[in-house]
Amino acid sequence: MPVDASPYDAVLLLSFGGPEKPDDVLPFLQNVTRGRGIPDERLREVGEHYYAFGGKSPINDQNRALLAALRASFDEAGLELPIYWGNRNWAPYLTDTMREMAGDGVRRAVVIVTSAYPSYSGCRQYRENLEDAARQVPGAPRIDKLRHYANHPGFVGSFVEATAKALGELPEGSAIAYVTHSIPTAMNATSGPDGNGYVDWHLDVAAEIDAAIEHRTGRTRRSDLVYCSRSGPPQVPWLEPDVNDHLETLAADGVPGVAVVPIGFVSDHMEVIYDLDTEAARTAAKLHLPMARAATPGTYEQFVTMLRDLVVERAEAERGEQPARPCVGALGPGWDDCRSDCCPPLRRPTTKEAV
């Protein structure tokens, strides 16, 4: 029996985007940093991360795999909605996708964003992208964003399984390092409705994984929240410690090993395969510190089913029903609609500051 998806007639997968070949790298980075005045010479330095992997980010292929997994899950459940895909910074561009949706007669859609936590760059900027695209497309559909899903059992449960597997590859008593993308401390201070939402949500998720692992193993272990992918001018404070600095601390403290768990990421894109699988792995090897990296949710069935269920949940809420809103931890379920003052943008550095 088909699932009632009204008032929605489509789903949009919205992601960051990434280059597909070496010639794409510099234009892609120019898109990402537009308006910040960062010179091409600096962007080419950053581009070396991509060139080390053939000039291709894995994120687009991962989104294609996620689209296929969502389609199969929707079909299995009887959720008869078309699924579109658009990116912020590379093809398929969001505006082009929204134009396609309008041409297909889509009037109202729900959007799945591949970012699980509240912050300007992880939430409000995507909402601004949607608004900008809608202004450029006559007859653009209305699009509602799913609630933040970092503390949904489907997201947390995926990381519990991945963390347990990583720990199983390490010496007894190994620590856990939960990793997410660093952001300016000022951005964290205004993230979420009441501030500090970015860090608070990550800490809440980490605590839930810790509790599940302790329940399985019967032992507590050291765990810390650390960061990767810091960028921007050095005089601007960003969240710390960096994962590489933290590995040095663990080695100095005599920890027998570390499971690196990228709870800030839904799939193995560049920040994971370069910052963790390349740089952090190199640091750990230099320190003779055994390290295992836990998998991201990607297309795990538990994660894909969660996304499908969230679409149904939002449809029920929009019809005035009272759907169950599964979540774990202390913070409660995410909100469907963001306040106008939630996660405001930061002042961009000038060209001189950015260099």
Rg (CA), the chain: 20
Looking at residue 348, what is its pLDDT? 55
Per-residue pLDDT tens over the stretch 54-104: 999 999 999 999 999 999 999 999 999 999 999 999 999 999 999 999 999
* Sheet arrangement for strand 223-228: 223-228, 175-181, 258-261, 291-293
Q: What is the rounded distance in angstroms from the CA atom of residue 147 to the CA atom of residue 155?
A: 13
Per-residue pLDDT tens over the stretch 302-325: 999 999 999 999 999 999 999 999
Q: Work out the mean pLDDT of the chain and round it to a whole number.
A: 95
Q: What is the rounded distance in angstroms from the CA atom of residue 149 to the CA atom of residue 296?
A: 14
Per-residue pLDDT tens over the stretch 20-34: 999 999 999 999 988
Q: What is the rounded distance in angstroms from the CA atom of residue 167 to the CA atom of residue 165?
A: 5
- How would residue 352 be classed by pLDDT, with cut points 50, 70 and 90? very low
Distance spanning both ends of the chain, measured CA to CA: 58
* Counts of helices then strands in the chain (DSSP H, E): 13, 8
Q: What is the rounded distance in angstroms from the CA atom of residue 15 to the CA atom of residue 12?
A: 10
Adjacent-strand bridge partners of 144: 110
CA 54, distance to chain mean position in Å, is 23
- On the CB side of 338, CA atoms within 13 Å amount to 25
Q: What is the rounded distance in angstroms from the CA atom of residue 323 to the CA atom of residue 329?
A: 19
DSSP 314-335: HHHHHTT--------SSS-PPP
Of 34-43, 109-118, 228-237, 248-257, which gets the smallest average pLDDT? 34-43
Tokens standing for residue 349: 């550095």
Q: What is the rounded distance in angstroms from the CA atom of residue 32 to the CA atom of residue 271?
A: 14
Per-residue pLDDT tens over the stretch 107-151: 999 999 999 999 999 999 999 999 999 999 999 999 999 999 999
The sign one gets for the Cα dihedral 331, 335, 341, 345 is positive
Q: Which residues, 6+ apart, have CB-to-CB distance to 96 below 8 Å?
A: 86
241 cis-preceded (ω within 30 degrees of 0): yes
Looking at residue 46, what is its pLDDT? 86
The sign one gets for the Cα dihedral 227, 130, 309, 329 is positive
Closest CA to 125 of 343, 347, 349, 354: 343
Question: To 10 degrees, the CA torsion angle through 292, 297, 300, 302?
Answer: 120
Which long-range contacts (C-beta less than 8 Å, at least 24 apart) are formed by 78-81? Answer: 78/1, 78/2, 78/3, 79/2, 79/3, 79/5, 79/308, 79/311, 79/312, 80/2, 80/3, 80/5, 81/5, 81/8, 81/9, 81/10, 81/11, 81/311
